[in-house]
Amino acid sequence: MLIILSILTVIGFFLKFDFREWLPPADEKLQYLSSQDKNLLENNVQEKILQNKSSQAKNLQDKILQNQGSQDQNLQDENLLEKKFPEKIIHDANVWNSSSQDKNLQNRNITENKGPCGCEKCFSKDDKLLMSSLNHSIEPFLSATTKLSEDIFQWWKVSYYHQNFGRITVGIPVSSFMWPRPDTCRTCAVVGNSVNLKGSGYGSLIDHHNIIIRMNAGPTKGYEEDVGTKTTHHVMYPESAVDLDNSTHLVVFAFKIQDLEWPIKALTTGFYATSYRKVTPKIKANKDLVMVLNPAFMKYVHEVWLKRRGTYPSTGFMALVLALHICDEVHVFGYGADSDGNWSHYFEVLTNKNLKTGPHPGNHEYNILQQLANEKTVQLYKGM
């Protein structure tokens, strides 16, 4: 009996004992470090939350300042335009500005008018010449999947084309292009090189368009007051090539078969083929923003719009028809001959008074442009 009582006493002692007191010193240290790490983690989380809140507040403040600055700049630009041009030129603020306020106005116009585009006036059956000539089934630009019919091969010297076309279209990436949509109003300025731009003061007006198409050797530096500073697309061919900045699309008009090969070599190893005029072997341009006009589109312009007059269309006329295909509103600057009938440029002094339009039907092209202006399909600015 005494033995049993002794055993029960020992068991009771162990049940009351706190075994944590028997933990070795090393385990106590680990337990302390674990608690310390937990506190450190909690502190880091709290600091991260505070940093995120501070960053969000700063981003919100920067956004407010940016919006305020953008609104101030738009107001300054609008005031400048109102002072510089007659009221009839600036007929609607949503034509020129891309601010959020203007976009909301455009969206309201779409909802109320239910038109095919977001502009005040969209192309319609009232544009008789346009509707009788426009053909959206023809792709304006070449791509690796472009297929041309035999008659286009013949129009473009089939043997050379078959030999080189596949290699060329694989070599040049076709720049993505945002086509017009019913919820937008895309305004385009097509800027020619006519001497009538001199003293016009159209520069700020041109720069307010969404797309600004310039052509050939037409410069902006030194002529900003009359022709503007911005360019989104620059049309050229080898003999008229100039350097471009990294944000401008190079749009190649290939009037000759060898012109197809030019963009690849001019942007890499150099183009050294002979031509009727000196060609700059290399140019500066963004190779990812190269676009080559489809020869089918060139043929379509020549046959449908010009009724086969002239050998082929001019750069300026094809740029105009291209704009009619990709824009909602088209505004035309710097087109037409001078008072003597010469097609001089705003950036040069004309020495040959007999200079005409060569293989291009210049007078016929201008008459078509004038008809488009009379039907209010395009807005034509004739300069000074």
User: 279 vs 161, 219, 259, 263, 291, CA distance in Å?
Assistant: 21, 18, 11, 12, 19
Distance CA 236, CA 217 (A): 8
Report the C-alpha gap between 127 and 112 in whole angstroms. 22
Count of C-beta atoms within a 10 Å radius of residue 324: 19
DSSP string, 266-309: HTTT------SS---S-----GGGEEEB-HHHHHHIIIIISTT-
Q: One of 161, 360, 366, 381 is an active-site residue; which one?
A: 360
Q: Is 360 a catalytic residue?
A: yes
**Band (354; pLDDT cuts 50, 70, 90):** low
Alpha-carbon gap, residue 323 to 351, rounded angstroms: 32
Give the model's pLDDT for residue 63.
54
∠ CA 218-221-227, rounded to 5° = 60
User: What pLDDT is attached to residue 142?
Assistant: 85
Asked whether the whole model's pTM tops 0.85, one would answer: no
Rounded CA-CA distance 374/72 in Å is 36
At residue 359, φ and ψ (nearest 5 deg) are -75, 0
Residue 177 to residue 162: CA distance in whole angstroms: 27
The per-residue pLDDT for 374 is: 95
- What pLDDT was estimated at residue 34? 47
Residue 278 pLDDT class (50, 70, 90 cuts): confident
User: Among the residues of 24-156, which ranges form H helices?
Assistant: 25-84, 93-96, 100-113, 128-133, 150-155
pLDDT at 98 over 50: no
| Amino acid present at 170 | V
Catalytic: 335?
no
pLDDT value at residue 224: 97
**122-381 CATH fold:** sialyltransferase cstii, chain A (3.90.1480)
Tell me if 216 sits within 8 A of 238, measured CB to CB.
no
How far is the first Cα of the chain from the last one, in angstroms, to the nearest whole number? 130
Distance of CA 279 to the CA centre of its chain: 27
* pLDDT (average), residues 119-145: 87
How far from the centroid of its chain's Cα atoms is residue 157's Cα?
32
How many C-beta atoms lie closer than 10 Å to residue 218's C-beta?
A: 23
Q: Is the pLDDT of residue 227 over 80?
A: yes
Q: Which of 161, 202, 237, 312 is catalytic?
A: 312
Mean pLDDT of 89-99: 33
CA–CA separation, 224 vs 67, rounded Å? 27
Q: What percent of the chain has pLDDT over 70?
A: 59
* pLDDT confidence band for 324 (50 / 70 / 90): very high
Mean pLDDT of 195-214: 95
Contact 357, 314 (CB under 8 A): yes
DSSP category for residue 175 = P
